């Protein structure tokens, strides 16, 4: 068998394997389960969850329970933490190509706007930090993004209620 014939034989074998029908379990179509949150809770009457991924624009616009936030596609979640005394949730993640604080804030606020939050103010205190305040139905949310020296992004969500 020549080298060319061997390559054609391997390609034909690969094509035959790929053409085999999938097992009956894999062939069944079932609705995808929603992703499980890494961290979740209820603060000031607002249920919330932080997700590693799997949040699409459609799932954010869904009138599902509570607030859902996640990370950009391709990001690795490094950690989450909740501070009950400060009523704040912290999400730390890393993207292979990096992200600046403004872009991280834009990503976070876009997710919140898809869920009915309105942006009140935005500020950019430094090149490595950005901040926005948002409101929805009497619920306030302060979002602060920080780009660490090593490129990691931290997003702090501080929950509050609107002043009467």
The residue ranges of DSSP E strands in the chain, in sequence order, are 39-43, 46-50, 67-69, 76-83, 88-94, 118-126, 129-136, 139-147, 153-161
According to the model, what pLDDT value does residue 63 have? 62
Tell me which residue range forms the domain holding 151: 39-161
Tokens of 151: 């490129």
- The answer to whether position 130 is within a domain reads yes
- The answer to whether position 81 is within a domain reads yes
- Alpha-carbon distance 144 to 133, whole Å? 9
- Alpha-carbon distance 35 to 71, whole Å? 13
Q: What is the pLDDT of residues 101-150, one digit of tens each?
A: 999 999 999 999 999 999 999 999 999 999 999 999 889 999 999 999 99
According to the model, what pLDDT value does residue 56 have? 75
Mean pLDDT rounded to a whole number for the chain: 81
- The answer to whether position 145 is within a domain reads yes
- Number of domains into which the chain is organized: 1
Tokens of 107: 């990503």
Q: What is the pLDDT of residues 36-61, one digit of tens each?
A: 899 999 998 889 999 997 677 776 77
Contacts of 115 (CB under 8 A, 6+ apart): 60, 61, 67, 68, 136
Q: What is the pLDDT of residues 7-21, one digit of tens each?
A: 454 444 444 434 444
Rounded to whole angstroms, what are the CA distances from 140 to 95, 105, 134, 137, 143? Answer: 28, 16, 6, 8, 10
pTM of this structure = 0.76
- The answer to whether position 24 is within a domain reads no
- The answer to whether position 12 is within a domain reads no
According to the model, what pLDDT value does residue 33 have? 61
- The answer to whether position 16 is within a domain reads no
- The answer to whether position 129 is within a domain reads yes
Q: Give the count of alpha carbons within 13 A of 49, CB side only.
A: 16
Residue 1 has pLDDT above 70, yes or no: no
- The answer to whether position 76 is within a domain reads yes
Strands 67-69 and 46-50: parallel
- Alpha-carbon distance 99 to 79, whole Å? 17
Contacts of 20 (CB under 8 A, 6+ apart): none
């Amino acid at each position: 068998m020549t080298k060319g014939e061997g390559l054609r034989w391997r390609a034909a074998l690969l094509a035959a394997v790929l053409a085999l029908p999938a097992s009956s379990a894999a062939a069944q179509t079932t609705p995808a389960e929603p992703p499980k949150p890494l961290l979740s809770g209820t603060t000031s009457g607002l249920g919330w969850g932080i997700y590693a991924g799997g949040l699409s624009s459609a799932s954010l616009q869904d009138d599902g329970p509570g607030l859902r936030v996640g990370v950009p596609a391709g990001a690795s979640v490094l950690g989450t933490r909740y501070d009950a005394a400060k009523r704040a949730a912290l999400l730390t993640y890393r993207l292979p190509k990096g992200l600046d604080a403004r872009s991280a804030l834009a990503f976070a606020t876009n997710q919140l706007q898809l869920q009915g939050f309105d942006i009140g103010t935005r500020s950019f205190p430094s090149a490595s930090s950005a901040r926005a305040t948002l409101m929805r139905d009497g619920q306030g949310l302060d979002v602060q993004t920080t780009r660490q020296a090593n490129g990691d992004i931290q997003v702090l969500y501080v929950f509050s209620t609107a002043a009467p």
